[in-house]
């Protein structure tokens, strides 16, 4: 190597100097070219310019000191090895200049082939190819085209136009029919296009071509589409790309040459076999550009048996070496096979599970590694039903894919109608402008939810995701008219009873019924598949990996469930208890009247009567849940929302009162309600009279709930089941609040439990920042903590979830203030720190303190890893997320090295 390199920073690596673990420095393509070189596979010689050089260039706008000399030195070595010089008119070396970042960004960045050709060396190239003029001019026109487009921003259509023009003049549609003279003419046309657009002649100096191409690759890192792609895929913006300079091999030398791609297994299904495409007499980019029709890779056996067999051998070797599905780019030059690229291939969610299972069978990886190779997002995908879109279905609108899945059904516009039709066994899609808590029953009854307003965190979206129900939100092309029971979209009008289909993954809305396939994986979780006799490869792999995750994980997984039905479903999905049973829905529906009586009570007696009427209803709810969760812990949260949420909205009441007065009816009750609503109005309900504050202010409210819970537990126990109630006090910020509630509760519990043997725990949510910071004190009065990370996030950041999403989250994401909504994935540095402090100080004060988390973060893969690290005992999430949390808890337990599985 040149002496220069010992002085300057090393920016250039020969393929022989790298290996697959140097992706940060050499990019994925460069690292794997080096790995293949060192494995002894036939890789055309070349070198890699590091991502560090790219970063230095992007920071200053200039190549870093020493880079030009290092390139010259490596180029000289390459020329010596190849016995040819770049641009030599008699016998030229040609190279490709290829981008390649750490994470593959398909089609995002640039590659230029045939660098080193000019008006003189094109003749030498022809001589090299035994006088194949056609090939030489074809290669030259490709260089001008790619160079013009990627390096000098000449619009690509211009070149394509000229090519079409040449074919038309020749009376053909196949570029193989163009002969050397046609292509020479095309080169002239291309050069004119180049001149017109750039104001300069096409550069003839090979080293200048090389340097400009390298710069263009550096700069393509910041091209708009690359920036967008990175943001979407959450690839860091500061990695930079490496540049690979590779000596050219030619697949366009005639029928005994060609180029192709190959996969060692089917990236769609994971099935073993030979998958790929081959194109004879073509250069690399033709395959992807779809210029001519490729043939299946198996055809190569007939065309060139020797190369085919060699390729299969290399594929097997690569799979054995990488221990994973590899995808490969190769070129055959006159019967000689060259390997141009390999990487661990992308795959569908189903293939990821199937392949991981197969590799275990083949002894290539162990079960820990298999677990590491799949993830919760993939599992979640596999749990949704899918549309079979092979038919001609055109979407009529596109909203936000708010909760994935596929659903078809009759359109209904009200919750009541949804419940009615569903009870008759009709599939319905609930269509609303937006939803609110009163739509809950309709949402439960519907197959899917479609709204014309609201984003990914609108009520509809959040609730639907929680229920695992398909939802498209914010389909703003829909003009929804609830009173008229219809919506208009484009030239169509859809009325109640018409059938629509919605895809909650893509956000697309279809008229009519698109056939749906249920998820086999859900059928398996629901227990309709015998694990001993699974004939479906995917289900078998899921079963195996989930079993290992369960055996490995340290976190228990509970569920958030408010009804017996939810609890039963979650239990089938593997929930080991309920981490959050909300009690507020128990005050809705026909029980509103009792709640109104409670709120309007003027005397202690009236209040006590209302509570006494609620008690048996609540007790019945809890009995159902305790029965379903026989033997498992059930955390019940005492009532949390402000009570005025149970009253009708102010405007509606005001209208009711006015109308009734008009008619001369008795309005005493309406007026009293209206007055109550006015009195209870809050500027910031989120920070108002709710949670534990209600319990301290409204005599008997919490007491009634504690009694209902305990009586239910005792009743279930007397029936021979095991109830393990855990009473959870919401919104505590100071230990004194909890002590007060606890003192009252303990009296009731002692009285009700008697000799039944039932044990009731009392604990608190940690969802107010002050509670996290005084966790040591609070733990003195609490037997468990459950982190309410939704509120903790709201109060930690000081923004309300309902208000921020539409207002400014997009800007925060754009500015990178956070990479993902802190409501979706826990903010480790801030909110996560509060969790950590509370966990540590709580345990220091009471070592046996149980720690869990409820709230949507409990089902988010990244957050589950965080809770594992902090050492919580369990996470709790919606029933549908339970398998995802089980899988991720297992992954967290095997991934101690922090390696990423992208």
Question: What are the residue numbers of the active site?
Answer: 459, 854
- The least CB distance from residue 474 to ligand ADP, in Å, is 34
Residue number with CB closer to Mg ion (341 or 381) = 341
**CA distance from start to end of the chain:** 35
Structure tokens at 860: 């988010």
- The least CB distance from residue 282 to ligand ADP, in Å, is 9
Instruction: Kindly write out the interface string for residues 340-369 of this chain, putting x where it contacts ligand ADP by CB under 6 A and - elsewhere.
Output: xx----------------------------
Task: Locate all alpha helices (DSSP H) within 475-532, ordered by sequence.
Answer: 520-525
Distance CA 831, CA 818 (A): 13
Distance CA 632, CA 716 (A): 13
- Work out whether 559 is an interface residue with ligand ADP (CB under 6 A): no
- The least CB distance from residue 107 to ligand ADP, in Å, is 6
For the beta carbon of residue 425, count every other beta carbon within 10 angstroms.
6
- Work out whether 581 is an interface residue with ligand ADP (CB under 6 A): no
Among 98, 149, 417, 459, the residue binding ligand ADP under the rule CB under 6 A is: 98
Left, alpha or beta for 116 (phi > 0: left; psi -120 to 50: alpha)?
left
Residue 516 is given by DSSP the state E
Distance CA 715, CA 84 (A): 90
- The least CB distance from residue 330 to ligand ADP, in Å, is 7
- Work out whether 79 is an interface residue with ligand ADP (CB under 6 A): no
CA atoms within 13 A on the CB side of 510: 21
Residue number with CB closer to ligand ADP (332 or 529) = 332
Distance CA 13, CA 71 (A): 9
Among 51, 341, 381, 559, the residue binding Mg ion under the rule CB under 5 A is: 341
Instruction: Kindly write out the interface string for residues 27-56 of this chain, putting x where it contacts ligand ADP by CB under 6 A and - elsewhere.
Output: -----------------x------------
Distance CA 58, CA 215 (A): 10
Q: Which of ligand ADP, Mg ion, none does residue 113 bind (CB under 5 to 8 Å by kind)?
A: ligand ADP
Contact 423, 478 (CB under 8 A): no
For the beta carbon of residue 24, count every other beta carbon within 10 angstroms.
15
- Work out whether 113 is an interface residue with ligand ADP (CB under 6 A): yes
**Torsion of the alpha carbons at 624, 628, 632 and 633, rounded to the nearest 10:** -30
Residue 122 makes CB contacts below 8 A (sequence gap 6+) with 136, 137, 139, 140, 187
- The least CB distance from residue 340 to ligand ADP, in Å, is 4
**Residue in the shown chain whose Cβ atom is closest to ligand ADP:** 284
Residue number with CB closer to Mg ion (98 or 850) = 98
Residue number with CB closer to ligand ADP (103 or 818) = 103
Left, alpha or beta for 356 (phi > 0: left; psi -120 to 50: alpha)?
alpha
Main-chain phi, psi angles of 466, to 5 degrees: -60, -40
Residue 706 is given by DSSP the state H
Sites for Mg ion among residues 295-324 (CB under 5 A): none
- The least CB distance from residue 32 to Mg ion, in Å, is 11
Distance CA 446, CA 772 (A): 39
Q: Which of ligand ADP, Mg ion, none does residue 788 bind (CB under 5 to 8 Å by kind)?
A: Mg ion
Number of residues counted as binding Mg ion (CB under 5 A): 5
Among 36, 82, 246, 738, the residue binding ligand ADP under the rule CB under 6 A is: 246
- The least CB distance from residue 340 to Mg ion, in Å, is 7
Kindly indicate which of the ranges 117-125, 204-212, 241-249, 591-599 contains the residues binding ligand ADP, using the contact rule CB under 6 A.
241-249
- Work out whether 146 is an interface residue with ligand ADP (CB under 6 A): no
Q: Which of Mg ion, ligand ADP, none does residue 514 bind (CB under 5 to 8 Å by kind)?
A: none
Among 28, 92, 240, 284, the residue binding ligand ADP under the rule CB under 6 A is: 284
Structure tokens at 896: 């101690």
Q: Among 750, 759, 761, which Cα is nearest to 713's?
A: 759
Instruction: Kindly write out the interface string for residues 778-807 of this chain, putting x where it contacts Mg ion by CB under 5 A and - elsewhere.
Output: ----------x--x----------------
Distance CA 863, CA 875 (A): 10
- Work out whether 150 is an interface residue with ligand ADP (CB under 6 A): no
Residue number with CB closer to ligand ADP (332 or 549) = 332
Among 70, 96, 264, 705, the residue binding ligand ADP under the rule CB under 6 A is: 96
832 strand-pairing partners: none
Main-chain phi, psi angles of 3, to 5 degrees: -60, -30
Instruction: Kindly write out the interface string for residues 115-144 of this chain, putting x where it contacts ligand ADP by CB under 6 A and - elsewhere.
Output: ------------------------------
- Work out whether 791 is an interface residue with ligand ADP (CB under 6 A): no
- Work out whether 252 is an interface residue with ligand ADP (CB under 6 A): no
- The least CB distance from residue 767 to Mg ion, in Å, is 5
- Work out whether 434 is an interface residue with ligand ADP (CB under 6 A): no
Residue 48 makes CB contacts below 8 A (sequence gap 6+) with 12, 13, 15, 18, 26, 27, 30, 33, 34, 100, 242, 243, 244, 245
- The least CB distance from residue 239 to ligand ADP, in Å, is 15
Residue 390 makes CB contacts below 8 A (sequence gap 6+) with none
- Work out whether 376 is an interface residue with Mg ion (CB under 5 A): no
CA 605 to chain centre: 54
- The least CB distance from residue 902 to ligand ADP, in Å, is 17
Distance CA 183, CA 132 (A): 12
- Work out whether 111 is an interface residue with ligand ADP (CB under 6 A): yes
Sites for Mg ion among residues 233-252 (CB under 5 A): none
Q: Which of Mg ion, ligand ADP, none does residue 791 bind (CB under 5 to 8 Å by kind)?
A: Mg ion
Q: What's the sign of the alpha-carbon dihedral 311, 315, 317, 321?
A: positive
Burial of 815: CB neighbours in 10 Å, binned 0-12, 13-18, 19+: exposed
Among 154, 249, 396, 723, the residue binding ligand ADP under the rule CB under 6 A is: 249
Q: Which of Mg ion, ligand ADP, none does residue 889 bind (CB under 5 to 8 Å by kind)?
A: none
- The least CB distance from residue 190 to Mg ion, in Å, is 24
Sites for Mg ion among residues 428-447 (CB under 5 A): none
Q: Which of ligand ADP, Mg ion, none does residue 92 bind (CB under 5 to 8 Å by kind)?
A: none
Residue number with CB closer to ligand ADP (341 or 793) = 341
Burial of 608: CB neighbours in 10 Å, binned 0-12, 13-18, 19+: middle
Structure tokens at 109: 């960045």
Enumerate binding residues for Mg ion (CB under 5 A): 329, 341, 767, 788, 791
Enumerate binding residues for ligand ADP (CB under 6 A): 44, 96, 98, 107, 111, 113, 246, 248-249, 284-285, 329, 331, 340-341
């Amino acid at each position: 190597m040149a002496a220069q390199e010992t002085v300057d920073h090393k920016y250039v690596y020969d393929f022989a100097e790298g290996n697959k673990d140097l992706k940060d420095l050499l990019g994925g393509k460069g690292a794997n070219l080096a790995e293949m070189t060192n494995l002894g596979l036939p890789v055309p010689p070349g070198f890699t310019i590091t991502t560090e050089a790219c970063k230095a260039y992007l920071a200053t706008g200039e190549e870093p000191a020493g880079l030009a000399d290092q390139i010259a030195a490596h180029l000289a070595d390459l020329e010596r090895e190849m016995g040819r010089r770049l641009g030599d008119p008699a016998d030229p070396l040609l190279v490709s200049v290829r981008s390649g970042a750490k994470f593959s960004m398909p089609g995002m960045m640039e590659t230029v082939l045939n660098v080193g050709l000019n008006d003189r060396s094109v003749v030498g190239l022809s001589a090299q190819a035994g006088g194949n003029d056609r090939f030489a001019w074809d290669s030259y026109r490709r260089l001008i085209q790619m160079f013009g487009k990627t390096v000098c921003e000449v619009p690509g259509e211009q070149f394509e136009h000229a090519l079409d023009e040449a074919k038309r003049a020749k009376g053909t549609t196949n570029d193989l029919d163009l002969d050397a003279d046609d292509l020479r003419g095309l080169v002239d046309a291309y050069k004119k296009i180049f001149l017109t657009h750039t104001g300069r002649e096409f550069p003839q100096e090979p080293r200048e071509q090389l340097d400009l191409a390298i710069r263009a690759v550096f700069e393509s890192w910041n091209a708009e589409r690359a920036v967008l792609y990175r943001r979407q895929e959450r690839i860091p913006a500061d990695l930079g790309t490496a540049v690979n300079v590779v000596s050219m091999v030619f697949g366009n030398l005639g029928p005994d040459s060609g180029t192709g791609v190959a996969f060692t297994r089917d990236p769609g299904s994971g099935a073993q076999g030979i998958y790929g495409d081959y194109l004879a007499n073509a250069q690399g980019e033709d395959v992807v550009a779809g210029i001519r029709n490729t043939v299946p890779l198996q055809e190569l056996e007939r065309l060139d048996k020797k190369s085919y067999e060699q390729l299969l051998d290399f594929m097997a070797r690569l799979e054995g070496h990488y221990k994973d599905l590899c995808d490969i780019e190769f070129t055959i030059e006159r019967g000689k096979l060259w390997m141009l690229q390999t990487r661990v291939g992308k795959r569908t969610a189903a293939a990821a599970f199937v392949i991981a299972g197969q590799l275990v069978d083949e002894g290539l990886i162990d079960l820990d590694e298999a677990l590491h190779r799949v993830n919760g997002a993939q599992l979640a995908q596999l749990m949704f039903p899918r549309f079979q879109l092979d038919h001609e279905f055109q979407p009529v609108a596109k909203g936000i894919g708010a909760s994935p899945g596929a659903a078809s059904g009759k359109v209904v516009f009200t919750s009541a109608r949804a419940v009615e039709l569903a009870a008759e066994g009709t599939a319905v899609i609930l269509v609303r402008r937006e939803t609110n808590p009163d739509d809950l029953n309709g949402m439960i009854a519907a197959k899917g939810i479609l709204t014309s307003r609201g984003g990914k965190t609108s009520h509809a979206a959040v609730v639907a995701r929680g229920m695992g129900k398909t939802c498209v939100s914010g389909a703003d092309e829909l003009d929804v008219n609830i009173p008229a029971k219809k919506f208009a979209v484009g030239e169509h009008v859809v009325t109640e009873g018409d059938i629509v289909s919605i895809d909650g993954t893509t956000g697309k809305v279809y008229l009519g019924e698109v056939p749906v396939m249920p998820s086999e994986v859900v059928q398996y979780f629901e227990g309709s598949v015998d694990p001993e006799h699974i004939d479906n490869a995917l289900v078998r792999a899921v079963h195996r990996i989930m079993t290992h995750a369960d055996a490995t994980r340290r976190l228990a997984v509970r569920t958030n469930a408010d009804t017996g039905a939810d609890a039963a479903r979650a239990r089938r999905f593997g929930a080991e208890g309920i981490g959050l049973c909300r009690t507020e829905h128990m005050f809705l529906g026909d029980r509103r009247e009792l709640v109104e009586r409670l709120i309007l009570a003027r005397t202690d007696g009236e209040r006590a009567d209302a509570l006494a009427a609620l008690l048996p209803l609540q007790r019945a709810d809890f009995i159902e849940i305790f029965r379903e969760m026989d033997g498992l812990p059930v955390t019940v949260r005492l009532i949390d929302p402000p009570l005025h949420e149970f009253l009708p909205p102010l405007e509606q009441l005001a209208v009711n009162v006015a109308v009734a007065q008009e008619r001369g009816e008795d309005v005493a009750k309406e007026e009293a309600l209206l007055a109550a609503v006015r009195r209870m109005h809050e500027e910031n309900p989120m920070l108002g009279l709710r949670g534990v504050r209600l319990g301290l202010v409204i005599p008997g409210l919490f007491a009634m709930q504690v009694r209902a819970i305990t009586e239910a537990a005792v009743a279930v126990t007397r029936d021979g089941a095991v109830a393990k109630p855990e009473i959870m006090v919401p919104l505590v910020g100071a230990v004194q609040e909890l002590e007060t509630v606890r003192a009252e509760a303990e009296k009731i519990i002692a009285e009700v439990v008697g000799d039944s043997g039932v044990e009731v725990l009392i604990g608190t949510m940690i969802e107010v920042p002050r509670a996290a910071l005084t966790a040591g004190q609070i733990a003195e009065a609490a037997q468990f903590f459950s982190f309410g990370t939704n509120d903790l996030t709201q109060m930690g950041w000081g923004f309300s979830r309902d208000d921020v999403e539409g207002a400014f989250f997009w800007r925060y994401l754009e500015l990178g203030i956070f990479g993902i909504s802190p409501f979706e994935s826990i903010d480790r540095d801030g909110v996560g720190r509060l969790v950590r402090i509370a966990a540590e100080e709580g345990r220091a004060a009471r070592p046996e303190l149980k720690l869990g988390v409820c709230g949507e973060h409990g089902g988010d893969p990244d957050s589950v890893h965080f809770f594992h690290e902090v050492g919580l005992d369990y996470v709790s999430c919606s029933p549908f997320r339970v398998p995802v949390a089980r899988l991720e808890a297992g992954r967290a337990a095997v991934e101690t090295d922090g390696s990423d599985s992208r």
